[in-house]
Amino acid sequence: MKFFVDSANIEEIKKLNEWGIISGVTTNPSLLSKEKGNPYDILRQICEIVKGPVSAEVTAVKFEEMVEEAHRLADIHPNIVVKIPFIEDGIKAIKYLSERGISVNTTLIFNPIQALIAARAGARYVSPFIGRLDDVGHDGLSIIKEIVEIFTIHEIETEVIAASIRHPRHVLMSALYGAHIATIPPNVFYQMIKHPLTDIGLQKFLEDWKKKEG
Ligand code: G3P
């Protein structure tokens, strides 16, 4: 499973990219609206930092306007992947854009059938939102498992991006269930690398080393 950063914050993306484990970035209108500056400039900067797919979402909801906005976003950089919401016009836009060589990440996926339809329309990625399903009392991770199973049975190449990740266990289970990618907010990356026994163990090693005679 690959790691993407789910953020539009340049400083956070730069810091995490220095770890050398980041394969891509996902943004959305909410994340971009939190940042100062022109969203297109921010997306361009992200593409210069991370050498991998960078998802940029359309805000139009009608087919013609979605397609037009998707082209503008795709023109920012060759690594831009256009995020299209899973709505009726979105399905048509996925088909249209995929046939014209624009990679699509289908967003706001909340059940496996939506994912299957997006894949059949030609989406390069589907993004099931785990955390938001948990928030309404459903089991978000179960749809990761089901989507991966369906794609495996039917030999579908569309990649599954576990999105709306809230904690390290979402990452662990997404990896076990076979998600190709987890897109992770910066705070969860820092939670993932922490273990109290690592800190205690290191402290002990260093103390013992200081005590060494000769
Ligand atoms: O980028 C899409 C998704 O990861 C959003 O997550 O935390 O707003 O539900 P969240």
Cβ atoms 157, 134 nearer than 8 A:
no
pLDDT surpassing 80 at residue 214: no
Q: How far apart are CA 76 and CA 160, in angstroms?
A: 24
pLDDT band at 213 (very low <50, low <70, confident <90, very high): confident
> How confident is the model at residue 103, as a pLDDT?
98
Domain count, the chain: 1
Could you read off the pLDDT of 142-187 as tens digits, one per residue? 999 999 999 999 999 999 999 999 999 999 999 999 999 999 999 9
What separation in Å is there between the alpha carbon of 67 and the centre of ligand 1? 23
Strand, helix or coil for residue 158: coil
pLDDT surpassing 90 at residue 87: yes
Mean pLDDT (the chain) is 98
pTM, 2 dp: 0.96
Count Cα neighbours of 207 within 13 Å in the Cβ-side half-sphere.
6
Q: Which of the residues are catalytic?
A: 83
Residue ranges making up the domain that contains 148? 2-213
pLDDT surpassing 80 at residue 97: yes
Pocket test for ligand 1, best of 27, 127, 129 (most atoms within 8 A of CB): 129
Read off the CATH number of the domain in which 76 is found: 3.20.20.70
Atom number of ligand 1 nearest to Cα 163: 4
**Of 38, 53, 40, which Cα lies nearest the Cα of 6?**
53
Averaged pLDDT for residues 48-66: 98
Determine which residue's CA is closest to atom 6 belonging to ligand 1: 164
What separation in Å is there between the alpha carbon of 102 and the centre of ligand 1? 23
Averaged pLDDT for residues 183-212: 97
What separation in Å is there between the alpha carbon of 214 and the centre of ligand 1? 55
Q: How far apart are CA 82 and CA 59, in angstroms?
A: 11
| Ligand 1 pocket, Cβ-based, cut-off 6 angstroms | 6, 26, 28, 129, 131-132, 163-164, 183
Burial status of residue 209 (CB atoms within 10 A of its CB: 0-12, 13-18, 19 or more) = exposed
